[in-house]
């Protein structure tokens, strides 16, 4: 939530900041703002409510003097509505210091009270302005920007990344972080700070992640990191694995369209390098060790949103293959429930961004309770992997559209790899059985590509017909159930249509009361080929809702003749083993959500009220 970018270097701050904000806009788009120290040594700021384009247009109409030092912010509102005044940057009382913030300062009310009592006036309703005024005061007494920020962060509770700059210190930007992300980009005669590497990848692929409770001071030719106590910190550089073009739209109408088209590569790249002699070997699990993995008595998967549905699929596969009980919990429910955790519990967190605060605090809680923590993450240098014992990265590439698509299939793939690795270590599958599953998994990218090429136009047409639909229900059984939940979530997020996913077996225990003539129901139908398949039961469920007038759209294996008489539309998917069907069945649902939102004229990349990276609890 909220994107942050800082720059010191040449006289091109505004271009760097706006470019960075464009790539960070997925983190929030309630307002945007920049502050730049111009060549005369004065701070100029411009901030506007609305999407980044409003600020860009304003800067074109009323240019701001460029400079070599600047900070920029794109906001997801927490304290105070999305107005020009509440937009960042915020200034110190003398207007000489500018500050931006990502996170929530939980004790801002008492700090504000203290400031008001000592004569301060506020121009916004934000928690952030408290920090701007406090750092301004500390600077007056210390004349040292790093020390001023250090003194203030010691007083703040909550989650924050703060960047500050001061008129009297051109060529310096100082950042601090606790529980919110901040990454350094190392340039040649210029340096960068960003909420993630997307902020600066256009200029450099050399990056350094900043740890918890650390402060960084960048100048054009130096970078210094200290902890909140003032002691120097050693840092480690890493190379950003993708280049700037990966986070550009290319010729696509939206990032989402591009990202759905990348689902085959997201799966393929996540498998790459992890299969040896047909078996899965995840060297990333070494920090936990095979002995501990063999001895596990329980796995708890924690995640939010789409990642939690990926986790539900992970449960089916891991239990089937590795024969260890798996629970799936929403991170925020897990964290505040005093869960039972022992050293034989493996907690697997799943997060595309690696910054979701609910998941981060759950990871911290599990670690403190003595559990082993493994994270599945798509973003290098993010906080959750840094705080986990082991990490399996998904290689979906940068995901920019707020609602997750390609990251979902990559997360499921990573969990399946973990399941097969565990099955090997625990001896619950033979090598031949593991190899059969690996072959199935390796075939998925081509099969997703087939779904994309065969179904896209048909689903677009269907979505077009359904633009006036008020409500859509999604049904699935077993591994089809998380797919139904994911399909419903996409429709809510993207098209603002009331949508619910149900386990089809639960239908007659309540949801069937919702069925009335014309109600659209999308049903994920399992393969009829599997002898243990729930296919007949799902066909019965379809008949039950058809009898009550539902309009049925079935996602079914191609050639499934049994479904034809009972469905108004059938979207075919290729043949796959039953645990692998979800990786195919979900693709039409991603397309459907996107197409229906587009048909309604909505912005599929930036749905209202949402942010991609939810860095507040």
Q: Smallest distance from the beta carbon of 190 to ligand G6P, in angstroms?
A: 29
The DSSP symbol for 179 reads B
The C-alpha atoms of residue 26 and residue 45 are separated, in whole angstroms, by: 22
Coil vs helix vs strand at 584: helix
Q: Smallest distance from the beta carbon of 102 to ligand G6P, in angstroms?
A: 15
Ramachandran angles phi, psi of 385, nearest 5°: -60, -35
Q: How far apart, in Å, are the Cα atoms of 266 and each of 14, 113, 150, 398?
A: 34, 50, 41, 10
Sequence-distant (6+) residues with CB within 8 A of 283 are: none
Tokens found for residue 575: 């043949």
Tokens found for residue 178: 């606790």
Taking alpha carbons only, the member of 403, 404, 398 closest to residue 244 is 398
| Radius of gyration of the chain from its Cα atoms, rounded to whole angstroms | 25
Nearer to ligand G6P, 146 or 394 (CB): 394
Q: Smallest distance from the beta carbon of 610 to ligand G6P, in angstroms?
A: 5
Nearer to ligand G6P, 59 or 610 (CB): 610
Nearer to ligand G6P, 353 or 469 (CB): 353
Nearer to ligand G6P, 78 or 353 (CB): 353
Nearer to ligand G6P, 92 or 306 (CB): 306
Q: Smallest distance from the beta carbon of 329 to ligand G6P, in angstroms?
A: 14
The C-alpha atoms of residue 4 and residue 20 are separated, in whole angstroms, by: 8
Which ranges of 7-144 would DSSP assign to H, the alpha helix?
Answer: 13-24, 52-61, 108-117, 128-142
Nearer to ligand G6P, 331 or 345 (CB): 331
Q: Which residues bind ligand G6P (CB under 6 A)?
A: 304-307, 351-353, 356, 359, 402-404, 610, 612-614
The C-alpha atoms of residue 232 and residue 216 are separated, in whole angstroms, by: 10
Coil vs helix vs strand at 106: coil
Q: Smallest distance from the beta carbon of 29 to ligand G6P, in angstroms?
A: 13
The DSSP symbol for 397 reads -
Q: Smallest distance from the beta carbon of 481 to ligand G6P, in angstroms?
A: 17
The C-alpha atoms of residue 165 and residue 145 are separated, in whole angstroms, by: 8
Coil vs helix vs strand at 429: coil
The C-alpha atoms of residue 588 and residue 298 are separated, in whole angstroms, by: 33
Active site residues: 2, 612
Q: Smallest distance from the beta carbon of 471 to ligand G6P, in angstroms?
A: 21
Vertex 186, ends 182 and 190: CA angle to 5°? Answer: 110
Number of neighbouring beta carbons within 10 Å of residue 480? 27
Nearer to ligand G6P, 204 or 356 (CB): 356
Ramachandran angles phi, psi of 476, nearest 5°: -160, 155
Residue pointed to by tokens 């809680």: 365
HEC string for 470-486: CEEEEEECCCHHHHHHH
Q: Smallest distance from the beta carbon of 246 to ligand G6P, in angstroms?
A: 17
Which residue has the CB atom at the shortest distance from ligand G6P? Answer: 305
End-to-end C-alpha distance for the chain, whole angstroms: 11
Nearer to ligand G6P, 245 or 609 (CB): 609
């Amino acid at each position: 939530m909220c994107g942050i970018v800082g720059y010191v270097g040449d006289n091109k701050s505004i271009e760097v900041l706006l470019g960075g904000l464009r790539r960070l806009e997925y983190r929030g788009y309630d307002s945007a703002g920049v502050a730049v120290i111009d060549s005369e040594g004065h701070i100029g700021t411009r901030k506007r409510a609305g999407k980044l384009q409003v600020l860009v247009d304003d800067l074109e109409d009323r240019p701001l003097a460029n400079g070599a030092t600047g900070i920029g912010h794109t906001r997801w509102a927490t304290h105070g509505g999305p107005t020009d005044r509440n937009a960042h940057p915020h200034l110190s009382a003398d207007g000489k210091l500018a500050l931006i913030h990502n996170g929530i300062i939980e004790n801002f009310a008492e700090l504000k009270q203290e400031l008001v009592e000592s004569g301060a006036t506020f121009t916004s309703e934000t928690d952030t302005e408290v920090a701007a005024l406090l750092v301004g005061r500390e600077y007056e007494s210390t004349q040292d920007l790093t020390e001023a920020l250090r003194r203030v962060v010691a007083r703040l509770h909550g989650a924050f990344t703060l960047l500050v700059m001061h008129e009297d210190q051109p060529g310096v930007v100082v950042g601090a972080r606790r529980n919110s992300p901040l990454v350094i980009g190392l340039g040649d005669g210029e340096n960068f700070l960003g909420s993630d590497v997307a902020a600066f990848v256009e200029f450099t692929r050399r990056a350094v992640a900043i740890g918890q409770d650390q402060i960084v001071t960048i100048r054009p030719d130096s970078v210094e990191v200290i902890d909140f106590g003032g002691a120097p910190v050693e840092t480690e550089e890493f190379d950003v694995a993708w280049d700037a073009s990966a986070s550009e739209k290319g010729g696509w109408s939206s990032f989402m369209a591009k990202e759905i088209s990348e689902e085959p590569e997201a799966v393929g790249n996540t498998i790459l390098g992890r299969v040896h002699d047909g078996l899965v070997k995840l060297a990333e699990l070494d920090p936990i060790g095979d002995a501990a993995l063999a001895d596990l008595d329980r796995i708890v998967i924690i995640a939010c949103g789409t990642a939690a549905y990926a986790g539900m699929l992970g449960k089916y596969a891991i239990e089937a293959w590795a024969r260890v009980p798996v629970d799936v919990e929403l991170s925020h429910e897990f964290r505040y429930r005093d869960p039972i955790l022992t050293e034989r519990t493996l907690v697997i967190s799943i997060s595309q961004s690696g910054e979701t605060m609910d998941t981060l605090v759950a990871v911290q809680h599990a670690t403190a309770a003595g559990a082993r923590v493994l994270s599945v993450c798509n973003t290098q240098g993010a906080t959750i992997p840094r705080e986990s014992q082991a990490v399996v990265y998904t290689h979906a590439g940068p995901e920019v559209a707020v609602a997750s698509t390609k990251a979902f299939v990559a997360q499921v793939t990573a969990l399946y790899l973990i399941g097969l690795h565990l099955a090997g270590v625990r001896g619950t599958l033979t090598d031949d059985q593991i190899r059969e599953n690996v072959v199935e998994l390796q075939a998925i990218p081509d099969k997703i590509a087939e779904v994309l090429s065969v179904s896209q136009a048909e689903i677009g047409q269907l979505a077009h017909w359904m633009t006036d639909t008020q409500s859509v229900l999604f049904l699935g059984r077993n591994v089809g159930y998380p797919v139904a939940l994911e399909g419903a979530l996409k429709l809510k997020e993207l098209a603002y249509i009331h949508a619910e996913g149900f386990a089809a077996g639960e239908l007659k225990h309540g949801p069937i009361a919702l069925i009335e003539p014309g109600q659209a129901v999308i049903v994920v139908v399992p393969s009829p080929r599997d002898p243990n398949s729930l296919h007949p039961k799902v066909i019965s469920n379809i008949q039950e809702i058809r009898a009550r007038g539902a309009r049925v759209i079935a996602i079914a294996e191609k050639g499934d003749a049994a479904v034809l008489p009972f469905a108004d539309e059938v979207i075919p998917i290729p043949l796959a083993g039953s645990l692998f069907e979800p990786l195919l069945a979900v693709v039409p649902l991603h397309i459907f959500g996107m197409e229906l939102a587009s048909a309604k004229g909505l912005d599929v990349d930036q749905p209202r009220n949402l942010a991609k990276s939810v860095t507040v609890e």
